Structure formats: structure tokens, C-alpha cells
Amino acid sequence: MKRLGITGGIGSGKSTVSRLLRQSGIPVYDSDSEAKRLMHTLLRQPIEQLFGSQAYEDENLNRKYIASQVFCNPELLNRLNAIVHPAVGEDFERWAEEQSDEVPFVALESAILFESGFDSRVDVTLLVDAPIEERIRRTVLRDGSSPDEVRARIAHQNTELAQTKADYVIHNHTESALAEQVNSLYINLKQLWK
């Protein structure tokens, strides 16, 4: 089963690309939502060992607490990633094997495709890119964050790595142009992987 990795910074349109691929019949693994699921189940014990009992609040992951702990502590962030990334990677492998042989390929959506090493689990990579002001506007509308909060989040993302390593780039300026580019990529990969 051939695999496409999808990445891009916050507000770039990764989820829209994934939705368009799903509409074409391509199964897409959303690593962010699957990581959250795993952190609530399989990974709860190692996360509590790392962060203590405050890591969970009313049976839910205390995301604010964990974010506050790792924000200025790269070593702690690396230790958390060492718990989460391998588990997500293994879960993706299991998921990919379960998909129908009838589909031309599957996709993995991850904001940190290269940083996490997930790019080694796919055959080709796609960067979804958009102008920074458009990314800020979209994220403010979607999350209710302030523009300054979004800029701070963008500043912590390493999109330069993806720009130098991605096999394909889609420029997401408008949804109609995006749909055309996704359709073109779909046709391209389908022919490539016959």
C-alpha cells in the first residue's frame, strides 16, 4: 500500500486537503486526533509518570498543564515526544495495513511529519502552504485565538524543514484553486502507483 504524507503549518489547509482526498475515496490518518486518542488510553500511564497526577484532570488530558511544562523545557518536550511519536507511528502502520487494497493509496496528515520522523513511514510527502496572513486569519476564525497568539504558534513551527524536504507543494490561496491542485495530485499519484 503506497502512502502519502501531508504536512503544513497551522492554518495552511492540511485538513481541507485531507477532506478533499477523503471525498475521492482516499483513507486519511489524522495523526493529531489519533495522538489525542492514544494519550487518553494507551499512553496515559507513561504520561502520568512523566508529568505526575496533574497530567489528567477529570479523566481528560490536562493539555494546558502539559503545554505549560514543555513550553520552556525542551528536554521534557523531547521525553514526551519519545512516548507519543513511536506509539502514533505504530498505530498508523496498523491502520494502513487494515485499509482496502482497492484504494490507490492512503495518506497520513501530520503537522510535524518531518520533525517526528513520520516521513520515513510514507512514500512521498506533500506540503500545504498558504500566505502567513491568510493562515492567521483562518486560525483566528477557526479557534477564536487572537492574531498574536496565532503568530506565536506559527513562530514555534518549523515549516522551513518541510519546504526543503517535501516532494510536492500545494499553494492554498483559495478553496477552488486548492481543489484543482488536490485533484491533479490525486490523478498523478494514482497513475504513478498503478
Cβ atoms of 27 and 146 within 8 Å: the answer is no
**pLDDT above 80 for 32:** yes
Per-residue pLDDT tens for 136-181?
999 999 988 899 988 888 887 777 778 889 999 999 987 778 999 9
Please, what sign has the CA dihedral across residues 13, 17, 18, 23?
Answer: positive
If phi over 0 gives left and psi between -120 and 50 gives alpha, with beta otherwise, what is residue 115? alpha
Cβ atoms of 178 and 18 within 8 Å: the answer is no
What is the reported pTM?
A: 0.91
DSSP letter at 1 equals -
In this prediction, residue 71 carries a pLDDT of: 81
pLDDT class for 53, splitting at 50, 70, 90? very high
Cell numbers for 190, please give them. Answer: 494514482
Query: Phi/psi at 87 (nearest 5 deg)?
Result: -65, -40
Per-residue pLDDT tens for 75-122?
999 999 999 999 999 999 999 999 999 999 999 999 999 999 999 999
d(CA 72, CA 21): 37
For each of the domains in the chain, give its residue range(s) and CATH number, in order of start.
1-27+119-194 (3.40.50.300), 28-98 (3.40.50.300)
